[in-house]
Chain A
Amino acid sequence: MDQFIFAAEVVLNGLMTGVMYALVALGFVLIFKASGVFNYAQGVLALFAALTLVGIQNGQVPFAHLINAALGTQLHHFGWTVPSVMAIALTALVMVGLAFLIEKLVLQHLVGQEPIILFMATIGLAYFLEGLGDVMWGADIKTLDVGLPQGISDSIETMTDAWFGYGFFIDRLDIWATVIAALLVAALVAFAQYTKQGRAMRAVADDHQAALSVGISLRFIWVMVWSIAGFVALVAGIMWGTKSGVQFSLSLIALKALPVLMLGGFTSIPGAIVGGLIIGVGEKLFEFTVGPMVGGATENWFAYVLALLFLVFRPQGLFGERIIERV
């Protein structure tokens, strides 16, 4: 019975982690659907967003390190702090600007190239943004606090203690992340289904040429989609940054989002959510049951192997569009 309760706690925590993975995977799916670009840089976008948010909040001077090295000055802070809400709004603006620049400088020149070339370009973009983030705001580990509640949730602990005689440990931040992610997904689905721009976005995803011929501006849609992906990255960056500090490893969650995508299928928003939950629960349960026998840290690879085995039986993922090949 004890084992069962522990396992239940593990599953719950896995679900919460899964929501976080799904948040990152969501950004991938949006861009892939609308432009066919497999955006490896999504994780770095989250890192960049989080770095920018912290930088703006603390009033850091951008490129201080570089300016100091080049001119011999001693700049580091403007000496003010910006309230969280305003800092988030400013960061969202920066992400929109970034989306515009990416479209203008990179994507526009790569229209019609093979998908694999576009994928490689986003890897290059990821390197560039990672370097840019470090040069702009410094590479030290930063703490991010935008006022989200953190720490163990007392009410859940006492409640489960009363039920099972054992208090579950659940981080309040995870609960908030779940709620926010649910809201975000609902908002995105509503946007895609019921607004004019959302319909245009779906049209572009369906067929670029046909969308162009009925007068939809491809460039506008791409900038919009990358801005939305930047915004999703910002939300993911805030959650992960609050949880484990803003540092380079944040961009590695993008790699964790990849098996999530494979499980769910690259083109499906519900797939990203379900895939995230399966991976989150799966890797936590595997670590709980098999991990101690093989030396632990199985979370590093379990997701990939699970996705790999899964794909052998269903190559397009759970909810992906059926792959039809013509010669």
Chain B
Amino acid sequence: MIYREAGDFKTSYRDDSQTFPIRLDRWGYYAVLAVAFGIVPFVINDYWANAVLVPFLIYAIAALGLNILTGYAGQVSLGTGGFMAVGAYAVYKLMTSFPEVNVVIHILLAGGITAIVGLLFGLPSLRIKGFYLAVATLAAQFFLVWLFNKVPWFYNYSASGQITAPTRTVLDHAVTGPAASAPAKYLVCLCFAFVLAWVARNLTRGTLGRKWMAIRDMDIAAEIIGVDPLRAKLSAFAVSSFFVGIAGALLFAVYLGAAEVGEAFGINKSFLVLFMIIIGGLGSIFGSFAGAAFLVLLPVLLKNLLVGSLGWPTDLAAHIELMIVGALIVLFLIVEPHGLARLWTLTKEKLRLWPFPH
């Protein structure tokens, strides 16, 4: 079997515009899905779920969200951490106020609430552009974190100021709280990641996505050809915040279980997600997953290598990790400013000609 379009006949427009036009790609995609849904849940253990897979899926959702805003619509945001906090606190309030409603609905509603908040903070983007906007989104980051810290209603007046996820079930399996098992957590995150990635892919290649990209490439020109900047920018903020809010809700309810806002959703989280989409590739769905995988795996690998194998102290390993992440980002920007997604595309281009490149 050779990686080639030749011989794969498309007989309808629908076939022609599908996401994976090459048969091998399509099979690969189905195989990944089959493994992710059919095999991994049966072999997963706590270490793999908590250290690698669950954070990977959650950050992939956050990266998808930021990629819609920054990669597709061209509005740089440094407020991701703040919006994740909105998702987390929204799901917490909903879970504790309406315990009888299914948690999946809570998570979706939390995304919706975050979308409204994102819309509000997106309003200045109509006047402010570029770096000025990036800095302006910091206002969202710091204000939201402060708000969740200072208003006791948000954390139900708990003495520690922390929020703790109560146990909730989906189909009689606990997915949040201390009783949740590794496969249940993993499957919930996987379902959200799968559906949201599918939504993102289809949004970005449709009318809305093309409007976003027109705004990204040059907003004045886009306005002249009939794209309404108000709607395009605000819809990008809303959709992006919806994704980020769901990621925040999952991060708190499924992954962390308990969270303190300054620590879990600080400015560093904003940068982490931003790095994911830079390393993965701006304006690419695959890139969001690749970037998230890279930055979730890197610390685990480095820790295993430096602390586990060489026996160095943890704090030293953490500092060296900072250096490596920083250096990698600079290196990536120099070598391949379009990220892992571009490398993947180039590989596919080469594969298409292999083994007889002209």
- Where the two chains meet, the residues of A that have a C-beta atom closer than 8 Å to any C-beta of B are 38, 65-66, 69-70, 105-106, 109-110, 113, 115-117, 119-121, 123-132, 134-135, 139, 255, 258-259, 261-262, 266, 294-298, 300-301, 304-305, 307-308, 311-312, 315-317, 323, 325, 327
Contact = CB atoms under 8 A, between A and B. Distances in A.
B319 A327 contact: no
Nearest to B126: A312
Contact of A120 (B221, B278, B321): B278
Contacts of B320: 66, 131, 135
Interface stretch (B52-60, B85-93, B104-112, B309-317): B309-317
Contacts of A132: 323
A266 to B, nearest CB: 7
B354 interface: no
B323 A301 contact: no
Contacts of B139: 301, 304-305, 307-308
Contacts of B325: 124, 127, 131
Nearest to A316: B132
A69 B313 contact: yes
A65 B224 CA distance: 59
A67 B151 CA distance: 47
Given A120-B278, A311-B124, A327 B221 contact: yes
B333 A307 contact: no
Instruction: Specify the main secondary structure of chain B where it touches its partner.
Output: helix
B333 A124 contact: yes
Given A139-B315, A304-B143, A129 B326 contact: yes
A295 B161 CA distance: 14
A262 B132 contact: yes
Interface string B96-135: 0000000000000000000000000000100111111011
A301 B319 CA distance: 28
Contacts of B145: 300
B39 interface: no
The number of chain B residues touching the other chain, given as a range, is 35 or more
14 contacts: A105-B330, A109-B334, A119-B131, A121-B333, A124-B333, A128-B330, A131-B325, A135-B319, A300-B145, A304-B135, A304-B136, A307-B135, A311-B124, A315-B128
Contact of A115 (B131, B138, B315, B321): B131
B271 interface: yes
Contacts of A323: 129
Residue of A38, A65, A301 contacting most chain B CB atoms (<10 Å): A301
Instruction: Specify the main secondary structure of chain A where it touches its partner.
Output: helix
B150 interface: yes
Given A120-B333, A123-B271, A131 B322 contact: yes
A124 B322 contact: no
Nearest to B219: A325
A301 B135 contact: no
Nearest to A296: B150
B131 A259 contact: no
A300 B330 contact: no
A258 B319 contact: no
Contacts of A294: 150
B333 A135 contact: no
A69 B327 contact: no
Contacts of B130: 115-116
Contacts of B274: 120, 123
Contact of B326 (A131, A307, A327): A131
Contacts of A125: 326, 330
The 7 closest A-B pairs by CB, nearest first: A128-B326, A127-B326, A124-B329, A131-B322, A131-B323, A304-B139, A301-B142
B330 A297 contact: no
A243 to B, nearest CB: 21
Residue of B132, B220, B275, B321 contacting most chain A CB atoms (<10 Å): B132
Nearest to B131: A38
A105 B333 CA distance: 12
A307 B139 CA distance: 9
B220 A262 contact: no
A266 B135 CA distance: 12
Interface string B272-286: 001100100000000
A140 B328 CA distance: 26
Interface in B137-191: 138-139, 141-143, 145-146, 149-151
A139 B319 contact: yes
A315 B132 contact: yes
Contacts of B218: 327
A312 to B, nearest CB: 5
A127 B224 contact: no
A261 to B, nearest CB: 7
Nearest to A140: B315
Contacts of B321: 131
